[in-house]
Structure 1
């Protein structure tokens, strides 16, 4: 399949995985930086190939075949992120950018070799689950957005859901990394802000950040 097709299918899968983002052609067009007309035309073509269901004015839904393709591309992307992070200690933004290119040039054989070399990791450095070679996600996601965390409790950062360079730079500077423990001091619900402490430093975050950081309650 072409790079454009893989990116289109992957965008639908990723948007569908987040409740706040619908999968209408216009939203997929915005995500990919293409025109609405181009997105609609692509959706119609991929519907003929049985990769998705297209209905005018409705959200796009992947078929089983389309979902399998999306998960295969995502597997390669996240394996490359894990490899680049381990081997070169690259930033979370840079590994994402490089993986966007490498995912389309990677055979299933090479993906399996990378996975074996890394010890078959379940998660990438952002905390996102890595599908297995059968296109299955075998982990259960119990994380919640930091914005929904309870005051006074300790949590472990489980996922950073962004591809913005400044977001990752901010998180790295303030030790907001996958696997780090934090304590939620205060939730300012009216102002949609969260005060937390990490490694003895106090940070105040607005909702733009707290909806992108996912956590699990610490043991």
Structure 2
């Protein structure tokens, strides 16, 4: 039976690190999570237990740790939000290291609709940097997916 777990910044960070470890290394190990998050292994074990109770990971004591489908989806969503924010900040001229660091903080607090608007704006700014009446054109693009007719 799954218990409900509030998706906090900490939980999302664990899932994001675990996703990257599973994707890049093929395995998830307590020591690697601890190293990536700069926490002690006993803290990782406690987090894994909570994530397991919420069916976000599966694990065997001293054995394999794997993200479940649900955990994988949440991690992908967090990473997607991170990438959108980082891209948006980079368009504003923020250097990549700073954009990456700040995206990590912002990904946990911004609403999905805000993230979607940032993505649309970033896409629009890349596609139509010289658009006439830039903001009016953007709002039209946001709504209809194309530039307004300027006949």
Q: Distance in 2 between matches of 1:84 and 1:57?
A: 41
Say which of 93, 101, 106 aligns to 2:110: 106
Measure, in 1, the Cα distance between the counterparts of 2:39 and 2:117: 34
Task: Determine if contact 1:80/1:99 at 8 Å carries over to the other structure.
Answer: yes
| Moved >2 Å (runs of 4+) | none
Summarize deviations over 1:56-77 as a string: whole Å, max 9, x none: 1223211111011101111111
Alignment length (residue pairs): 118
The structure whose Rg is larger is 2
Which consecutive residues of structure 1, in runs of 5 or more, have no partner in the other structure?
121-219
* Structure with more of its chain in helix, by fraction: 2
1:2-151 alignment runs, 5 A limit: 2-19=8-25, 22-87=27-92, 89-119=93-123
TM-score for the superposition, normalised by structure 1: 0.52
Q: SS of the counterpart of 1:17?
A: helix
Which has the bigger relative contact order, CA under 8 A and spacing at least 6? 2
The answer to whether the Cα contact below 8 Å between 1:25 and 1:59 also exists between their aligned partners in 2 is no
Provide the rounded CA distance (Å) in 2 between the counterparts of 1:98 and 1:15.
22
Name the residue aligned to 1:128. none
